[in-house]
Amino acid sequence: MDLSRLLAVGPGETRAHVPEFADVFRQHFDFVWRTLRSLGVPESGVDDAVQDVFISVHRRLPEFEGRSALKTWIYSIAYHTAQNHRRSARRREALPLELDLVSAEPGPGEFAAGAQAGRFVLRFLERLVPERRDVFVLCVLEELSAPDVAEILRVNVNTVYSRLRLARQEFRTALEGLAREERSTEAPT
Amino acid sequence: MTLEELERQVIHQAQRELAPSPAIRERHELALLARIPHDVPLGSDVSGLRAVGRAAASSPWFGFSGLPGRMLGVGLAVGVLLGGWVGYSLGQRGADGDAKGAGSVTSMPGGAAPLTPSEPVAAPAVSGDGSVPGSAPSEVPPASPAPVAASAMAEPGAAGSARPAKRAVRPAPRAAESSLAEELAMLQRARRALGAGNGLLALGIVSELDERFPRGVLVEERIATRVFSLCALERVSEARAVGREFLARHPSSVYAERVRTSCIETPE
């Protein structure tokens, strides 16, 4: 008997497929953090939201039955945690403050230096309707498959494809605007 | 550049930029260590895991359940934190002996206190011989409602902010956990100071730990930190005195090898 596994999953729990919490944390922390930020959790609340996700993961890990991929299961927890925190943030009316903090658009030449992509994407996500934003974050930024995203969002997979197509169109439109600005900046006067 | 290429580039760059820094990850690790509930009966054979846990030092949560196991997990977590100090030996000594940052320690005792009587009394959970006697958590008095996570995450520059309304409805953490979180946070600060080459600040933090937590839990980590700090300051004879006493008291400590191979092994 691997006692570490026993300790990790709780008393009397010996299912071999249950991963250790420490491994789960190590492998998924970055994704959870980034997903929560991308899904609209205010920056001031990301720390708390991340903690909530992993406390929840720790509590529910013994229940993980392996019917879905662990990654999908954790994203599902993160996604619903993000929803709760967004609601809380709206109630506290903290969102306008956060928007102010990231309201400055990157300049046309800034992408060349590779410094502002994150801010541009966050700004873009703020403008998307939530349904498209969620799909864009999970499919594009986190590179999850459409069936996995459908499972997390509890929608039909065709709905995921449809929202993704629309979100991508909007993203490209935003990028085209940026490219136009770059061209006009670079053009000789 | 085509639109598709630009899209790929922006997404790729955003994925990197939106990722948390190692400091954020570390902060969360510490906060979780202080928050995760006990879920193993106290009668569990945690002591037997200590030796195994040493071999699994890369797993900070190894054996992290129940109070004794919790302490073990914390010890290992700090072990991981201290792991970056393996290279802190002769090669690095002397480079940072100046007092850069000394201004920030003016309120701290900067000298190396002798192990006795200022050395904190070892808590049973991390006694040097490797045994981990059980102690009922019910003996620990309940703490004030101050959230443990907040104290563990209250590093300068932390993005998180207090959320009293939500945290207030959570179960009150135990006093021992709160102290433990503070100890961890201070040791982390000391580690950062050492990593930044500021042995003086690290030493000051260790001395502050002695004052604030004379019966602290992370005793071995603290003394090992003192040794490394003294080495960084080229105070070899003091490091040697502290280190030798540490090795005599805690010969099987997870830090014994690092202490043994620190500056104290240089010929007198």
Does B143 have pLDDT greater than 50?
Answer: no
Average pLDDT, chain B: 59
Distance from the B85 Cα atom to the nearest Cα atom in chain A, whole angstroms: 21
Q: Mean per-residue pLDDT for A58-78?
A: 83
Q: What is the pLDDT of residue B219?
A: 83
Does B129 have pLDDT greater than 60?
Answer: no
Does B207 have pLDDT greater than 80?
Answer: yes
CB distance A33–B24 less than 8 Å? Answer: yes
Mutation pick from A29, A47, A54, A164 vs chain B, by most beta carbons of B within 10 Å, is A47
Q: Mean per-residue pLDDT for B202-221?
A: 85
For residues B30 and B162, the answer to whether their CB atoms sit within 8 Å is no
Write the pLDDT tens digit of every residue in A19-67: 788 888 888 999 899 999 898 887 778 888 898 899 889 888 887 777 7
Helix A21-38 and helix A46-60: axis angle, to 10°? 140
Query: How far is B129 from B150, CA to CA, in rounded Å?
Result: 33
- pLDDT band per the 50, 70, 90 thresholds, residue A147: very high
CB proximity under 8 Å: A 75-104 to B: 88
Does B24 have pLDDT greater than 60?
Answer: yes
Chain B within 8 Å of A111 (Cβ-Cβ)? yes
DSSP B124-157: GGG-TTS------GGGSPB--S--HHHHHT--TT
The single residue listed with the structure tokens 């991340």 is: A50
Query: How far is B33 from B80, CA to CA, in rounded Å?
Result: 13
Chain A within 8 Å of B55 (Cβ-Cβ)? no
Amino acid in the structure at residue B161: S
List chain A residues with CB under 8 Å of B16.
118
Q: What is the pLDDT of residue B242?
A: 94
Q: Mean per-residue pLDDT for B137-146?
A: 34
Average pLDDT, chain A: 76
Q: Which residues contact B7 (CB under 8 A, 6 or more apart)?
A: A171, A172, A175
pTM above 0.80, yes or no: no
Q: How far apart are the first and last CA of chain A?
A: 75
Maximum CA pair distance of chain A? Answer: 75
Chain A within 8 Å of B7 (Cβ-Cβ)? yes
Does B256 have pLDDT greater than 60?
Answer: yes
| CA-to-CA dists, residue B243 to B88, B224, B255, B258, angstroms | 14, 7, 10, 10
Neighbour tally for B9: CB within 10 Å:
16
- Pick from B174, B197, B202, B198: which is nearest to B186 by CA? B202
- pLDDT band per the 50, 70, 90 thresholds, residue A166: very high
Does B146 have pLDDT greater than 80?
Answer: no
Chain B within 8 Å of A48 (Cβ-Cβ)? yes
Amino acid in the structure at residue A85: H
- pLDDT band per the 50, 70, 90 thresholds, residue B126: very low
Q: What is the pLDDT of residue A189?
A: 53
List chain B residues with CB under 8 Å of A8.
61, 64-65
Query: How far is B120 from B216, CA to CA, in rounded Å?
Result: 6
* Most confidently predicted of A28-37, A156-165, B191-200: A156-165
Task: Give the pair of three-digit tokens for residue B55.
Answer: 């071999």
Percent of chain B with pLDDT over 70: 45
B142 forms beta bridges with B174
Phi, psi of B83 (to 5 degrees): -55, -30
Chain B within 8 Å of A172 (Cβ-Cβ)? yes
Does A164 have pLDDT greater than 50?
Answer: yes
- pLDDT band per the 50, 70, 90 thresholds, residue B26: confident
Secondary structure (3-state) at B198: coil
Q: Mean per-residue pLDDT for B15-34?
A: 80
Higher per-residue pLDDT: B73 or A183: A183
- pLDDT band per the 50, 70, 90 thresholds, residue B178: low
List chain B residues with CB under 8 Å of A136.
none
Does B127 have pLDDT greater than 60?
Answer: no
List chain B residues with CB under 8 Å of A38.
18
CB distance B65–A7 less than 8 Å? Answer: yes
